[in-house]
Amino acid sequence: MFTFIGNNKRILQVVLFVVAVPFLFFGVDSYIRSSGTGQSVARVGDYKISQQEFVDALRNRQEALRRMTQGKLDSRLLDSPELRLATLDSLIQRRLLLDRAVRAGMTVSDSHLQDVIAGQPAFKDGSNQFSYERYQQVLRSEGMVPAVFEARLRQDLMLEQQREGYFDSGFVPKTVLDRLVRLAEQEREVSQYRVTPDRFVGEVQIGEEAIKQYYEANPQAFRIPERVKVDYVMLSAESLVSQIKLEPAEIKQFFESRRSQYRTEEARRASHILISVDGSGGAEAQQKARARAEEIYKEAIGKPASFADLAKKYSQDPGSAANGGDLGFISLGSMKDVPEFEAALFKLKEGEISQPVATKHGFHIVRLTALQPSQGKSFEEVRGQIEGDLKRQRAGRKFAELADRFSNVVYEQFESLKPAAELLNSEVKRSGWITRTSAEPTVLNHPKLLEAAFSQDVLKDRRNSEAVEVAPNTLVAVRLAEHSPASARPFAEVRAEIEELLKRRAATKRAIETGAEQLEQLKQGKSIAVDWSSPQLVSRGERKGVSEAIVRQAFRIDAEKLPAYAGVGVSRVVKAEEIAPDRRRGFGEGLRQVLGQQEFAAYLTSVRQKTEIEINKERLEQR
């Protein structure tokens, strides 16, 4: 949905959940009709999913799949009926959940929305601060405006609230958890015998008629989509960097005027012993904690070399106690949450121990273990960094100056891209084959640019496209170079592929039949010549190189009578004795999550059943 927040997992959790729930609990076949939706793709209650909404969602999903597979996914899969149906189903689910969230009175405050947006790395500048200019720029590159983005994000946060209500409510009884953990930790000794299709491929013969029938029955499998090759010119701030020339004196002057920026501030390595205070205990608890801290302080002063041992023994800070109280290096101003601690630390001499320091967390006994003095970097150390920064700054300004002129030249001199290339002191480049869903090089793989490449202006009227912003500070214009309509690969070209496919299918079928026969003989106690692999102990969590399918099969076998066979041989069962507490907790949390998912899926099923849904098949399949 938002390609620019790929690293912001919290927001995307609910988005990905809503758009990626498989058809495990739902199907849409029963909703497909040809009436009732008008010009829309679907109707969910009173809400209509428009053609544009569906097209945008499909493009976003296609782009996400391209990123996940690094552009290696077959372009035919990116516009398959299955992907279209899955995309529409995700929109239907989203609408159902939003309706229920609104009815339940769920809201997202403006302040919470602002905090979420301000916290996104994609919207921060070089100093790691939220930049409204950067915010607008990123949205613009995605073809969005703040009002639309914020409304969509508000919906996503509401859906997240709704989902977490189910996912955080799973409950597992202790006795059930104990039994399941022991089953999960159980090990089984397995041996394998593989009956592979390769053994039968040479025995299979495929007739010419069967090959032709498969070709004629599966035209979509051999369809070459409509394609174009385009000439293109790109204006980017990055490409302008190489054109920027700087005088050595400029770089030196910049360094001299900002020497303070190239200093590392003093840092102090601290260790501490924390005595926490019971918040419900009032003044009495405060006094008790202070007295305890004073006792430990006196012990530490008497044995300063044993400070780490005392921290391990007494400190109530779970994050540092095991490390002897070590907190690492701390710079001035980095502990604004506990200013009293920082003030005490920066008054100490190396090796010195402070008296108990009161903060909101309790009482700290602080020791300064090492000092890292402030240091300035030399000009030679930072020269390359300064030169790069200055070039990028000037390239950014030059890009801003050229952007409008580039767009105007592309539009006004629509019969050629050469004037635009001359303006940029660049050259016109040519792409490889581009489809409506994917392009190489990746700079052209942007939904708006792909749309422009197949527009009437470019395809029919033979004009330049408009300059499209494909990334921040990056504009691209394209022009048709070559066009290839959708077509079918000729039979002669694919004949060998089909023959190999049909051979593999027949060989696989024969391998399955042979394996089933041998398995049945083993179950009946008959002795057959089988070359078993060496026995190996596996568990559900530790497969040790054994495939998941085989491990799953091994644990389905009734272990009362061994050896037993079920696609894999099991000769021994090793029961779990002691289960580590952290392992038990982790398993319980995972189980609660699974139960929450099941409850949420059941809720979605219920909501679907109570809502009238219609899908316009013609609109769904419309290219």
CATH number, position 334: 3.10.50.40
At 374 the pLDDT is 80
CB 92 within 8 A of CB 27: no
Q: Is residue 548 part of a domain?
A: yes
What is the Cα–Cα distance from 551 to 622, expressed in whole angstroms? Answer: 44
> In total, how many domains does the chain have?
4
User: In this structure, is the dihedral angle defined by the CA atoms of residues 447, 452, 453 and 454, taken in order, positive or negative?
Assistant: positive
What is the Cα–Cα distance from 95 to 78, expressed in whole angstroms? Answer: 24
Residues 367 and 301 in one domain: yes
Q: Is residue 583 part of a domain?
A: no
User: In this structure, is the dihedral angle defined by the CA atoms of residues 350, 352, 355 and 361, taken in order, positive or negative?
Assistant: positive
Residues 103 and 145 in one domain: yes
What is the Cα–Cα distance from 124 to 118, expressed in whole angstroms? Answer: 8
CB 511 within 8 A of CB 195: yes
Residues 142 and 204 in one domain: no
Q: Collapsing DSSP states into helix, strand and coil, what is residue 327?
A: strand
Residues 477 and 501 in one domain: no
| CATH number of the CATH domain containing 93 | 1.10.4030.10
HEC secondary structure over 459-520: HCCCCCCCCEEEECCEEEEEEEEEEECCEECCHHHHHHHHHHHHHHHHHHHHHHHHHHHHHH
End-to-end CA distance of the chain: 20
Q: Is residue 540 part of a domain?
A: yes
What is the Cα–Cα distance from 168 to 600, expressed in whole angstroms? Answer: 11
Q: Is residue 155 part of a domain?
A: yes
At 16 the pLDDT is 33
Residues 476 and 461 in one domain: yes
Contacts 24+ apart (CB under 8 A), 602-610: 602/25, 603/166, 604/21, 604/25, 604/26, 604/93, 604/96, 604/97, 605/25, 605/26, 607/96, 607/97, 607/100, 608/26, 608/96
- DSSP annotation of 41: S
Beta strands in 290-354 (DSSP E): 326-331
Total Cβ atoms within 10 A of residue 380: 8
Residues 465 and 527 in one domain: no
DSSP 532-593: PPPPEEEESS--TT--HHHHHHHTTS-TTSSSEESSSEEEEEE------HHHHHHHHHHHHH
User: In this structure, is the dihedral angle defined by the CA atoms of residues 317, 318, 320 and 325, taken in order, positive or negative?
Assistant: positive
| CATH number of the CATH domain containing 470 | 3.10.50
What is the Cα–Cα distance from 595 to 591, expressed in whole angstroms? Answer: 6
Residues 13 and 144 in one domain: yes
Residues 156 and 35 in one domain: yes
How do beta strands 326-331 and 267-275 pair? antiparallel
Q: Is residue 591 part of a domain?
A: no
CA distance to 420, 463, 479, per residue, from 467 (Å): 10, 12, 11
Q: Collapsing DSSP states into helix, strand and coil, what is residue 139?
A: helix
At 82 the pLDDT is 85
Of 485, 514, 539, at which residue does a domain stop?
A: 485
Question: Six-digit token pair at 70?
Answer: 């690094």
Q: Collapsing DSSP states into helix, strand and coil, what is residue 617?
A: helix
Q: Is residue 593 part of a domain?
A: no
Q: Is residue 295 part of a domain?
A: yes
What is the Cα–Cα distance from 273 to 198, expressed in whole angstroms? Answer: 66
CA distance to 98, 134, 373, per residue, from 129 (Å): 32, 10, 27
The whole domain housing 295 covers: 266-373
Q: Collapsing DSSP states into helix, strand and coil, what is residue 531?
A: coil
Residues 72 and 145 in one domain: yes
At 542 the pLDDT is 75
Q: Identify the CA nearest to 89 among candidates 39, 54, 65, 64.
A: 54
Mean pLDDT of successive 10-residue stretches along the chain, which has 623 residues: 35 34 37 53 87 84 77 69 87 88 83 86 79 82 79 86 72 69 76 86 93 93 92 92 88 83 82 86 86 94 92 88 89 84 92 94 93 82 86 89 94 95 94 89 88 94 94 93 93 94 93 87 83 81 77 74 68 64 67 76 85 84 66
At 124 the pLDDT is 81
Q: Is residue 594 part of a domain?
A: no
Residues 348 and 322 in one domain: yes
Question: Six-digit token pair at 582?
Answer: 């952290």
Of 373, 391, 413, at which residue does a domain stop?
A: 373
Residues 161 and 230 in one domain: no
Residues 509 and 386 in one domain: no
